[in-house]
A = this chain, B = another copy of it.
Amino acid sequence: MKFSEPFSFEILAVKGKARAGVFHTPHGSILTPVFAPVGTQATVKSLTPAQIKEAGASLILSNTYHLYLRPGDELIASLGGLHEFMAWPGPILTDSGGFQVFSLAQMRKIDKDGVSFKSHIDGSPQRLTPEKSIAIQENLGADIIMAFDECAEPYDRQYSESAMERTHLWAERCINVKTRQDQALFGIVQGGIFPDLRERSAQYLSSLNLPGYAIGGLSVGETKTEMRETINLVTDILPKDKPRYLMGVGTPADILTGVENGIDIFDCVLPTRLARHHAAMTTTGRLNLMNASFARDGQPIDQSCSCYTCRTFSRAYLRHLITAREMLAASLLSIHNIHTLIQTITSLREDILENGKTK
């Protein structure tokens, strides 16, 4: 493959399988392990880039499927690419569109070559192939881009195997058509909950010598034990000197499991989605701020949190905004939830740096 010059990954310390490192990208360095908030439609819902940055984010994720359908990747390219379009000057990761085609689109038909489907927005016929996914992602211009993959039902062995095999062929096709040197293409390990498939997938993708690897098809219905064992098995096989990304995972417990098993990058809609449903993530669990018990509560969401929301507002005020259906509630809770997850992962990083073995 064409090797991507502007990228490098340094591991600074390890503790067991956990790693603390720095991933250098054209739009800045990412301290790993890292949590990336999701900006599906080129916006982390309800937040300005200034607020996203203040909440502690370095890397954000955006969705190829959504941006391809609206406003269109060519439009974004004509306006200078996604960084410029959404005014996020730091690193961006785009997914391949594969997962959304399988979870959101209607009337999808998979063949060897790609996937035909109807847009969830207007029902228009659409088609994604590995080549098209890369072309879109090159138009968007994220720092980290993903190989087009198929995410199967995790317990269906036959489907998991054929989807995995397609994912491997598609990864090679993605490598072959990729042209930009300022984007790192990550491969995605599939194989459902089946250890032998996951092993084959991790080995095969490792042989392609990509600048990074993701584990797909987790957090989609499997048990916590199956998730942990799959991560552990896959990270034992993937090259140690490349960043590893656990896709779509974002509860504090799952992040801990991931970090302990050698994952470097996480993303999830959880903090912003919970925020829009009035839930605050704290180090001791979730609070539903619509609860009447918070009506006169002058404390911040979390006494130990240093985010703008906790420094500035009481639970009573947040509950008032929620009951009055004020938009500001979603913004303030999103700031808090993103900050909390990022603080959680930053603490894990500091523990590895302080108590692990320096490389």
Contact = CB atoms under 8 A, between A and B. Distances in A.
Interface of A: 41-43, 45-51, 70-71, 75, 78-80, 85-87, 295-296, 298, 308, 312-314, 316-317, 319-321, 323-324, 326-328, 330-332
A296 B75 contact: yes
Nearest to A47: B328
A80 B298 CA distance: 9
Contacts of A314: 79, 85
A316 to B, nearest CB: 6
A48 B332 contact: yes
Contacts of A323: 70-71
Contact of A326 (B45, B51, B298, B320): B45
- Copy count, this protein chain: 2
Given A46-B327, A79-B298, A308-B50, A316 B87 contact: no
A71 B316 CA distance: 9
Contact of A312 (B42, B43, B87, B331): B87
A296 B78 contact: yes
Q: Which of A49, A87, A319 has the most CB of B within 10 A?
A: A87
A309 B53 CA distance: 16
A43 B322 CA distance: 12
A85 B327 contact: no
Contacts of A48: 51, 308, 312, 328, 331-332
Contacts of A316: 71, 75, 79, 85
A43 B328 contact: yes
A271 to B, nearest CB: 15
Contacts of A42: 317, 320
A43 B318 CA distance: 11
B331 A330 contact: no
A296 to B, nearest CB: 6
Q: Which of A46, A48, A70, A295 has the most CB of B within 10 A?
A: A48
Contact of A327 (B45, B49, B295, B296): B45
Nearest to A309: B48
Nearest to A78: B296
29 contacts: A41-B321, A42-B317, A42-B320, A43-B321, A43-B326, A45-B326, A45-B327, A45-B328, A46-B328, A47-B328, A48-B312, A48-B331, A48-B332, A70-B320, A71-B295, A71-B316, A71-B319, A71-B320, A75-B295, A75-B296, A78-B296, A79-B317, A85-B316, A85-B317, A85-B320, A86-B317, A87-B313, A327-B330, A327-B331
